C-alpha cells in the first residue's frame, strides 16, 4: 500500500508537554488538561490516566472530580495483576467511570514487558523460555511478540479487557526490548532484540538466510513487520468485540524504540486512534 493512501490518518499536532491523540474521525484528545488546537483548528478533548485505587467509593469520588475538571475520558491501567486478581473490580471501576460520563480507555500497563508502564510481568516470570533475546543470546525480561504462547496470553487479556465494558483498547508504547544503552546513544552492534529461536526461524522463512547478529536493514524491516503483524491481530480481535483501538507510540520515530515509521501503524485498518507523545 502506498503511503499516500493512508498518510491522512496520521496527524501532527501541537501542544504543551502532553500526550496527543489523533483520532481517526478527525477529533483529537489530549492528556493532562493542556489547552491546544490541532492543525485544523479543532479544540481538544481532555483526559487523564488513572491507576492505583480499586476501591469503588474512592474511584467514584475521583471520577466525579475528573468530570469537574472538564475531562471527557479516562485511561485505566489493566496490568497483569489486575488481569489475574482484580478483573471483577475493574469491571466496577469501568462502570463507575462510564456512569460519571467518561469514555474509558483500558491500557495493558507493563503487560509482558512489551508495553509501557512500571508494572512487573508475571508472564515473563512464568515463561522464561518465551522471552526476548539480545542478538548475543542474552535472555531479557520481556515477552517475544512473535511467540504463539504470548499471543495466546494476549488474546485472553483482550477478552477480559472487553468484559470490563471499556470503550477503547489503549495499546501503550509497544516495542521490542530497549537496552539502556539506546537512550544514552551508546548502543553496541549486538544490543538489540529479538533474536530468539522463534524470531530466527521466522527471519529464515522470510529472507532465506540466517538472522544476523548485527542490526541490518533486513532486521529493521523484520522488527517493523513483527510489530505491525502483532497489532493487526490484536486490534482486529478488539475491534470485532466492538472496542476501538488506540496505539500510542514512544516519542522517537525510530526503529530502535518502536517502528521505523509511524505510517506503518497508521496504515493498520483496525487502528482507530494513532497517539503520539509530544514532549
What integer pLDDT is reported at residue 278 of this predicted model?
A: 52
pLDDT above 90 covers what percent of the chain? 65
pLDDT of 32: 36
Q: Are 134 and 192 in contact (CB under 8 A)?
A: yes
Per-residue confidence (pLDDT) for residue 257, from 0 to 100: 78
Predicted local distance difference test score (pLDDT) of residue 6: 37
**For residues 276 and 262, is the Cβ–Cβ distance under 8 A?**
yes
Q: Rg (Cα) of the chain, in Å, rounded? A: 19
CB 27 within 8 A of CB 13: no
3-state SS assignment for residue 83: helix
Q: Is the dihedral of CA 50, 54, 58, 59 positive or negative?
A: positive
Q: Of 88, 96, 143, 81, whose CA–CA distance to 115 is shortest?
A: 143
CATH number of 19-132+140-179+228-278: 3.20.20.80
Query: What is the pLDDT at residue 108?
Result: 97
Which set of grid coordinates corresponds to residue 214? 548485527
What is the predicted pLDDT for the residue at 16?
29
Residue identified by cell 529464515 is 204
CB neighbour list of residue 108: distance below 8 Å, 6 or more residues apart: 78, 79, 115, 154, 157, 161, 170, 171, 172
Answer whether 13's CB lies under 8 Å from 28's CB: yes
| pLDDT tens digits, one per residue of 80-93 | 999 999 999 999 99
Distances (CA, A) of 178 to 141, 191, 217, 232, 256: 11, 9, 18, 22, 7
pLDDT at position 2: 32
Q: What is the pLDDT of residue 144?
A: 98
Q: Are strands 44-50 and 73-77 parallel, antiparallel or unpaired?
A: parallel
Q: What is the pTM of this model?
A: 0.84
Q: In a structure prediction context, what are the per-residue pLDDT tens digits for the chain, which is 279 residues long? A: 333 333 344 443 323 233 334 333 333 333 333 333 334 445 577 889 998 889 999 999 999 999 999 999 999 999 999 999 999 999 999 999 999 999 999 999 999 999 988 899 999 999 999 999 999 999 999 999 999 999 999 999 999 999 999 999 999 988 899 887 777 777 777 789 999 999 999 999 999 999 999 999 999 999 999 999 999 999 999 999 999 999 988 877 778 778 888 899 989 999 998 876 554
Q: What is the pLDDT of residue 45?
A: 77
The answer to whether the CB of 264 falls within 8 A of the CB of 228 is: yes
**The three three-digit cell numbers of residue 4, written as one number:** 499516500
Report the distance separating Cα 258 and Cα 247, nearest Å. 12
Amino acid at each position: 500500500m502506498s503511503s499516500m493512501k493512508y498518510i491522512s490518518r496520521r496527524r501532527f499536532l501541537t501542544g504543551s508537554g502532553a500526550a496527543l491523540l489523533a483520532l481517526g474521525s478527525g477529533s483529537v484528545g489530549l492528556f493532562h488538561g493542556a489547552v491546544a488546537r490541532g492543525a485544523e483548528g479543532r479544540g481538544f478533548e481532555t483526559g487523564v490516566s488513572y491507576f492505583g485505587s480499586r476501591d469503588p467509593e474512592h474511584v467514584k469520588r475521583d471520577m466525579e472530580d475528573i468530570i469537574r475538571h472538564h475531562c471527557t475520558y479516562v485511561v485505566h491501567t489493566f496490568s497483569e495483576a489486575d488481569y489475574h486478581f482484580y478483573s471483577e473490580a475493574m469491571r466496577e471501576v469501568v462502570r463507575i467511570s462510564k456512569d460519571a460520563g467518561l469514555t474509558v480507555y483500558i491500557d495493558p500497563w507493563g503487560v509482558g514487558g512489551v508495553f509501557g508502564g512500571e508494572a512487573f510481568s508475571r508472564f515473563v516470570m512464568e515463561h522464561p523460555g518465551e522471552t526476548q533475546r539480545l542478538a548475543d543470546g542474552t535472555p531479557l525480561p520481556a515477552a517475544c511478540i512473535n511467540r504463539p504462547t504470548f499471543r495466546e496470553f494476549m488474546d485472553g487479556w483482550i477478552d477480559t479487557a472487553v468484559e470490563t465494558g471499556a470503550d477503547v483498547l489503549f495499546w501503550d508504547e509497544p516495542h521490542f526490548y530497549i537496552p539502556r544503552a539506546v537512550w544514552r546513544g551508546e548502543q553496541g552492534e549486538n544490543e538489540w532484540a529479538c533474536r530468539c529461536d522463534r524470531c530466527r526461524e521466522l527471519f529464515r522463512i522470510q529472507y532465506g538466510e540466517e538472522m544476523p547478529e548485527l542490526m541490518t536493514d533486513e532486521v529493521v524491516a523484520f522488527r517493523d513487520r513483527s510489530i505491525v503483524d502483532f497489532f493487526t491481530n490484536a486490534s482486529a480481535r478488539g475491534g470485532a468485540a466492538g472496542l476501538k483501538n488506540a496505539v500510542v507510540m514512544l516519542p522517537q520515530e525510530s526503529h530502535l524504540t518502536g517502528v521505523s515509521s509511524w505510517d506503518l501503524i497508521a496504515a493498520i485498518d483496525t487502528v482507530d486512534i494513532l497517539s503520539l507523545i509530544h514532549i
